[in-house]
Chains A and B, each alone.
Chain A
Amino acid sequence: MTRYILERFASLILVLFAVSIIVFTLMHSVPGGPFDESKGRLPPAAKENILRKYGLDKPVWQQYLNYMSHALRFDFGIPYQQPQTTVAKLIGKTWAVTVQVGLMTILVAFSLGIFAGMYAAYHQNSWIDNVVTFTATLGVTVPNFVVAMWFILFFAVARQWLPMGGWSSSGQCLIGNYLCTDWILPVIAYALAPMAIVARYTRASIVDVKRADYVRTARAKGVSERVVMRRHVFRNAQIPMVTALGTEIPNLITGSIFIESIFRINGLGKFFVTSTLNRDYPMIMATFLLVALLWGITYMLTDIAYTWIDPRVRLGSKGEG
């Protein structure tokens, strides 16, 4: 087990290095940069000074090594768009918002999704089951910015019940700056797709397990229905749910670019778009490394969670055959 984790960790670090090299070379392979004078001419001396200050006068590989040696000490440089702060601070500030959105979304998506999926599974082929299946199809196929726009059109424009956008900025809040009315639309619009996936997984796995022999045996022994459901059905239905959790969490934590743009939330996703439009190398690099790291770690944790939930699962190369 320890060995497996170490191996995964090593490959994660390798992937991170590869990602950093790819992003770095891509960003530097094209002419033009943040100071390419498209927004006004600079005197040659001033330009030279700026390039030297940001280390842009050195060869690319040297710039890369320089960057990485700083990055390993959590110094990701200075964003070109906001030189008065640092990349680490800026990411920290915007990511805090994104994490709030993400956590609320996870909470809503998983509680409602599991509930809907279980309900649909226990009342298989009833109209509620059909409604859940239909909504799940819609939630998975229709992009979230489309759903978000429909929500805005209905709840904010046609009926002015909720604010059109913002995060803790337009509308009343329940506690301080938290649980505000302007949280409702983004969270629900964002939660719809993962909720649909969770509901689908939950329904499918419960329907599967419900007919298993050991469940029938438990019933035959006279175990109460509630205990059968909790100890036999639900426990075994957890594995696909962990898969869903593992694939959805990195998405949700790193934020939805679309949800943040359409609701004007100043989170990491929206900032990433402005960074790419401005060719802000340090910001783009740091965001990419952060996202790759988060994805890698959650995938690793998902695999470990499997063994914890289901002791039959063995990790490592031996088990694969």
Chain B
Amino acid sequence: MADAAGSPSPPEALVLEGISESRTFWQDARRRFFRNRLAVLGLVIVSFLVILAVFADLLAPFPYDFVRFDRVLKLPFVFPENPLGTDEVGRDYLSRLIYGARTSLIVAFSVQGIALLIGMPLGALAGYFGGRVDFVITRIIDIMTAFPSLLFAILIISVLGGGLRTIIVALSLTSWIIIARLTRSQVLTLREQDFTVAARALGAPEWRIMMRHLLPNALTPILVAVSLGIPTAIFAEAGLSFLGLGVNDPIASWGKMVGVSNAYVRVYWHLALFPTLAIALTMLGFSFLGDGIRDALDPKQER
């Protein structure tokens, strides 16, 4: 069990008594992660989703926009080619579900990626330079937290119109806040630490201190925030598409499938059941994975 991480350990005889084998932080983290059963379950679910998303073209029996007008609203198992039935315009539901994974993951990863690209530099600038820069950036953060981020996303979408790209923009605009705030507080504490002072005393330029000394040390909590931000983004995309404010037809989105199914739920239960299960499974998978990463990287936090 102790070697679940798969790292080769030296033979027992070679280990001196009283001196344990030295392990790096990342080896430790990996060991902690793989001991956590829920985290491993999360990893399995997420890997499955990633495979679905990447190989959707090979795995799905039909293209996501393939319409058969003679097979509109068929329940599961009526036709062997459509094991999960068909939707309201005659598209294979299993294929739509598989492509839905792709939409979810594209939105989630792009949003968190952009949030990192905006949030980290802004937070670092605010924390490092303080003063007027800090004042402006913290005020922006304050204003952005004054109302629910979902409402803000809806506002952006109502201005720019729906679609995959707009959703990514709208969600990125709100999700950088968390990253920026976190980076700022990290940099604030790291800036006064001895190694930073030493680097400055040795005459290292500001950008080098920031890039080599501050950001790498602030990385762990940011990584945790990103891994927990992914399910939030998935939820937001599903929610917006559910309201009809999200991705446009014919792109498959689980949220939109749930929203459309609301009108048919009395008879065609399959339209509602499968995408809701997919959303729930995805959310659970990413949350378990995120919690696992947090517990593995920061053993002091929580319990």
Contact = CB atoms under 8 A, between A and B. Distances in A.
Contacts of A26: 155-156, 159
Given A19-B146, A257-B243, A149 B158 contact: no
For chain B, the bracket of interface size reads: 35 or more
Interface string B252-290: 000000110110011001001100100110011001000
Interface in B57-80: none
Interface stretch (A78-86, A227-235, A289-297): A289-297
B272 A149 contact: yes
B154 A273 contact: yes
Nearest to B281: A142
B231 A141 contact: yes
A284 B284 contact: no
Interface string B236-255: 00110011110000000000
For B146, B160, B235, B279, the residue with the greatest tally of chain A CB atoms inside 10 Å of its CB is B146
A157 interface: yes
Contact of B146 (A138, A140, A145, A292): A292
B158 A277 contact: yes
B94 to A, nearest CB: 19
A258 B239 contact: yes
A72 interface: no
Nearest to B139: A18
Given A141-B231, A258-B243, A284 B155 contact: yes
A64 interface: no
A19 B265 contact: no
Interface in B136-161: 142-143, 146-148, 150-151, 154-160
B266 A157 contact: yes
Contacts of B148: 251, 254, 291, 295
Contacts of B158: 276-277, 279, 284
A30 interface: yes
Contact of B279 (A15, A19, A146, A279): A146
Contacts of B265: 149, 152-153, 157, 164
Contact of B239 (A137, A143, A164): A143
A75 B41 CA distance: 55
A146 B244 CA distance: 15
A149 B258 contact: yes
For chain A, the bracket of interface size reads: 35 or more
B143 A15 contact: yes
A91 B174 CA distance: 26
Contacts of B262: 149, 261-262
A19 B144 CA distance: 8
Interface string A130-154: 0000000110111101100110110
Contacts of B154: 257, 272-273, 276
A29 interface: yes
Interface string B12-28: 00000000000000000
A143 B235 CA distance: 7
Interface of chain B: mostly helix, strand, loop or mixed: helix
B159 A292 contact: no
A261 B242 contact: yes
B142 to A, nearest CB: 7
B284 A145 contact: no
Interface of chain A: mostly helix, strand, loop or mixed: helix
A288 interface: yes
A203 B52 CA distance: 38
Interface string A257-273: 11001100000000011
B243 A143 contact: no
A22 interface: yes
Contacts of B155: 23, 26-27, 276, 284, 288
Interface string A6-28: 00000100011011001100110
B280 A288 contact: no
A142 B279 CA distance: 8
Contacts of B238: 143
Contact of B142 (A15, A137, A157, A276): A15
For B143, B147, B238, B279, the residue with the greatest tally of chain A CB atoms inside 10 Å of its CB is B147
Interface in A229-257: 251, 254, 257
A258 B155 CA distance: 16
A166 B239 CA distance: 20
Interface in A63-116: none
A153 B269 contact: yes
Contacts of A142: 279-280, 283-284
B143 A146 contact: no
A37 to B, nearest CB: 17
Interface string B220-236: 00000000000100010
B83 to A, nearest CB: 19
Interface of A: 11, 15-16, 18-19, 22-23, 26-27, 29-30, 137-138, 140-143, 145-146, 149-150, 152-153, 157-158, 164, 251, 254, 257-258, 261-262, 272-273, 276-277, 279, 284, 288, 291-292, 295-296
5 contacts: A15-B146, A26-B159, A152-B272, A258-B243, A276-B154
Given A149-B258, A288-B151, 18 more contacts: A16-B146, A19-B143, A27-B155, A137-B284, A138-B284, A145-B258, A146-B258, A149-B262, A149-B276, A153-B273, A164-B265, A251-B148, A257-B150, A261-B259, A261-B262, A272-B151, A273-B243, A276-B155
